[in-house]
């Protein structure tokens, strides 16, 4: 590059840089998730809440206050508060917030740190006010149905949301209880009460179990007595039937004693000879005398 060419490029480069500087002073690019307020001699003139390219007068005539309009997370202070029944609890809340009205935000707080300080105070005040309307059992209880966390959080959020928008120009889309604790002085009392409640429940279940066991045993005893009585009645019936049959046989044997003797001998023979035993006795020895084919009464 010759000296003449270099001398031509240097002024052109200077003009280009000057043009870029002028454009940066008169053009504003707003990105997605940003909001801003354009002031003229520090007086708000225009709210820039949509992404795009805007034209302005350079500083010090006009100035742009640019903010991040995305949702931020704010953690409250971990501090003590009183319930309706005078119990101390330590509660920390969390909340999400974003700049909804840039102009009001600039006029009322101006910076994010000041906005968070104001929101912390606002949340703390409503937390104390709302928790003061609920008993201790709504926060700590062995019965899940007695807990009121959702109701408490919704009540605090409703109050904070309305005043935060009115006072600071910010929107609070969500709020909740992040941490809950008890002072050491009352923790042991709470545990003692919980143990007493659990002991009472155990005793009630034990008493109900013993009552059920007594009822079952009584029913079993009653059923046993009924079955024993039925069995005893059946046994008496069978014995009576047997006695009646025996009496009938006795009457038959009484009318013919020889028949009774003959049947008894047959029974003894059957019992003796059914075991394949070898017996050596005289032919006249009862009941083997039957084997001769003649009854003694006939001789």
DSSP bridge pairs for 160: none
Determine the pLDDT at residue 119: 94
Task: Tell me if residue 294 falls in helix, strand or coil.
Answer: coil
Percent of the chain with pLDDT over 70: 75
Count of CB atoms situated within 10 Å of the CB of 57 = 14
In this structure, are 146 and 60 located in the same domain?
Answer: no
Are residues 85 and 170 both part of a single domain?
Answer: yes
Averaged pLDDT for residues 187-204: 77
Domain endpoint, select from 68, 86, 112? 68
Does residue 24 share a domain with residue 94?
no
Lowest mean pLDDT among 36-45, 229-238, 280-289, 290-299: 290-299
Q: What was the pLDDT predicted at 299? A: 41
Sequence-ordered list of residues with C-beta below 8 angstroms from that of 28, at least 6 positions apart, any chain: 36, 38, 48, 53, 54, 55, 56, 64
Of residues 163, 19, 153, 53, the one with CA closest to residue 94: 153
Q: Domain of residue 293: give its range.
A: 256-298
Asked if 76 and 176 sit in the same domain, the reply is yes
Give the residue from 17, 38, 68 where a domain finishes.
Answer: 68
Based on the fold, state whether residues 91 and 50 are members of the same structural domain.
no
Residue 293 lies in a domain: yes
pLDDT of residue 296: 47
Q: Is residue 161 part of a domain?
A: yes
pLDDT at 240: 84
User: What is the pTM for the complete model shown?
Assistant: 0.55
Average pLDDT over every residue of 184-198: 71
The last residue of one of the domains, among 182, 203, 224, is 182
Residue 286 belongs to a domain: yes
196 lies in a domain? Answer: no
Asked if residue 82 and residue 58 are part of one domain, the reply reads no
Average pLDDT, the chain: 81
Do residues 149 and 125 share a domain?
A: yes
30 and 89 co-located in one domain: no
């Amino acid at each position: 590059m010759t000296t003449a060419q270099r001398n031509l490029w240097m002024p052109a480069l200077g003009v280009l840089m000057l043009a870029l500087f002028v454009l940066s002073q008169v053009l504003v690019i707003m990105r997605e998730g940003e909001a801003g307020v354009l002031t003229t001699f520090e007086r708000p003139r225009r709210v820039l809440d949509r992404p795009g390219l805007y034209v302005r007068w350079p500083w010090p005539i006009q100035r742009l206050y640019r903010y991040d309009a995305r949702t931020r997370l704010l953690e409250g202070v971990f501090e003590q508060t009183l319930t309706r029944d005078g119990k101390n609890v330590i509660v920390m809340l969390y909340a999400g917030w974003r700049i909804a009205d840039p102009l009001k935000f600039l006029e009322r707080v101006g910076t994010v740190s000041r906005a968070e300080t104001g929101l912390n105070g606002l949340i703390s005040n409503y937390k104390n006010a709302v928790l003061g309307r609920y008993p201790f059992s709504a926060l700590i209880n062995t019965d899940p149905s007695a807990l009121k966390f959702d109701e408490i959080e919704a009540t605090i959020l409703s109050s904070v949301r309305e005043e935060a928008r009115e006072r600071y120009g910010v929107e609070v889309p969500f709020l909740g209880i992040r941490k809950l604790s008890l002072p050491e002085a009352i923790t042991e009392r709470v545990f003692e009460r919980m143990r007493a409640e659990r002991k009472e429940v155990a005793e009630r279940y034990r008493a109900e179990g013993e009552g059920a066991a007594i009822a079952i045993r009584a029913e079993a005893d009653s059923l046993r007595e009924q079955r024993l009585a039925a069995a005893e009645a059946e046994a008496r019936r069978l014995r009576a039937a047997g006695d009646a049959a025996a009496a009938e046989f006795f009457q038959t044997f009484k009318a013919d004693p020889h028949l009774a003797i003959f049947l008894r001998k047959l029974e003894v023979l059957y019992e003796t000879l059914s075991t394949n035993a070898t017996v050596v006795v005289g032919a006249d020895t009862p009941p083997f005398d039957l084997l001769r084919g003649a009854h003694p009464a006939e001789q």
